[in-house]
Amino acid sequence: MKLRYLPLLMALTALLAAAAPAPAQEAAPLISLPSFAPIVAKAEAAVVFISVTQTASAGRQPRRPASPFNDDFMERFFGFPQDGRPPQERKTRGQGSGFIFDREGYIITNNHVVEGAEEIKVKLNGGEEIAAETVGRDPKTDLALLKLKKAGSYPFLVLGDSQKMEIGDWVVAIGNPFGLEHTVTAGILSARSRSLGAGPYDDFLQTDAAINLGNSGGPLLNLAGEVIGINTAIVAGGNNIGFAIPANLAKGIVNQLKTKGRVVRGWMGVIIEKVRPSHAQAFGMKEPRGALVREVDARGPAVAAKLKPGDVIVRFDGQEVKEWQDLPLIVANTAVGKKVKVVVFRQGREFSLDLTVAELKDADDSPAAKTETEALGLSLSELTPELRARHSLVGHEGLLVTGLEAGSPAAEADFQVGDLIVEINGQPVKNQGDYRAALKAKASGELASFLVKRGDRTIFLTITLP
């Protein structure tokens, strides 16, 4: 073959190779989404519809719960009017969800579903309606335990391990939104350890499974059909942002309600706040961590343990305090009378102190324990990133009004839930310590002037101190 034909043959070979079919590529494996039908079939028999009856009267107006979120019974069930005036005496009805968690007929639901109820009816999945009684309630975590009055062996759900759940895991919610019984929704676990400013034991799971008015008290389930949360709250105006009480927190509460009818919590006698970067720098800490002691209660065990304002608690009874809001839960779950080691960061190094845990008493048990906030009828929350975002308060400082007692000095002064207290008597208010200090500077009977941000406006309100 002559060499002059070689380039032509090479070009023809390349053309044929390009036209040849490409080798078959291995198809990507198909991802199969789970079916929730088996979970629902197993769980729905234990999910119940709860209806309650309560008498609302002008002389016995329930206190508006200190809650930054909108939930199903704040207006419809408890009868809180839009204009703040107490209702006339009348029968009110409300409804919610719950689930049976043992075969004897004990039911877990939210405290706000049954608080103040004079009559409780529970409708089972088959339609049978049975009267129930309240065994115990815990307003601090918004949990309640009911018992069916009719003896029997009932289907029940198991409380799972909420700590094993990972962000992105599938979850299923079953409840009675807007009275639509046994509605099933699904989604994922969106976040954990959410603090909403509702109380010292905030530790909510967040989910995008649709939770609506009437879902309160219903179960949030994992793919094994175990309860990993009790649906509790939604964000007003939010889109699929719901919150549930973790099952691990509920287990201890429910067991105490079942055996004692109340919850006993540990107490150390300190007021704490967040360790900010400026604090860490001033104290010589490498990074912000732990809980900063702002005040030490003279009646509490912290005095004998020699804790001081300015101490940063970094470990309690062997448990690391990563964030300041971790400490109340750790202490509350510690047995009363237990002797523990408290590790604090003080003057550039760590110290270990011995403390004997005491029992937390409700403020109502001791008139002397009533705070200035309670006397004015206000419930206040320091701003968290979630509260700043929800109330469009990014870049602002102050205390958020999350609850208001009808007929209180604050209500008469025209305070509203959602107000941000910026100053008192000309003094900036950034936390509870600033708030108390400003009020203590005025004597009983004197006027206190509050600078308040309300929406896009800034207004002054005055209260005569009781």
Sequence-distant (6+) residues with CB within 8 A of 68 are: 196, 197, 198, 381, 387, 390, 391, 400, 402
Task: For the chain, give the longest Cα–Cα distance.
Answer: 118
CA 262 to chain centre: 20
Which residues are known catalytic residues?
112, 142, 216
- Could you identify the residue written with the tokens 């309606």? 129
Separation between Cα atoms, residue 28 and residue 36, nearest integer Å: 25
Collapsing DSSP to helix, strand or coil, 294 comes out as: strand
Sequence-distant (6+) residues with CB within 8 A of 39 are: 172, 221, 223, 225
Q: Are 43 and 156 in contact (CB under 8 A)?
A: no
Separation between Cα atoms, residue 301 and residue 433, nearest integer Å: 21
Sequence-distant (6+) residues with CB within 8 A of 231 are: 97, 173, 175, 211, 215, 216, 217, 218, 219, 220, 242, 243, 244
* CA nearest to 40, candidates 183, 207, 139: 183
CA distances from 463 to 317, 376, 379, 426 (A): 43, 8, 15, 14
Q: Are 124 and 166 in contact (CB under 8 A)?
A: no
Strand 219-221, strand 227-234: pairing: antiparallel
Separation between Cα atoms, residue 74 and residue 65, nearest integer Å: 8
What is the DSSP code (8-state) at residue 212?
Answer: -
- Could you identify the residue written with the tokens 């309670």? 374
Q: Are 270 and 295 in contact (CB under 8 A)?
A: yes
Nearest 5°: the CA angle 121, 124, 129 is 40
* CA nearest to 309, candidates 354, 278, 279, 339: 279
Reading the block at residue 337, the tokens are 């009378």
- 355, amino acid identity: L
The residues with which 346 forms a beta bridge, in sequence order, are 349
What is the DSSP code (8-state) at residue 419?
Answer: -
Q: How far apart are the first and last CA of the chain?
A: 115
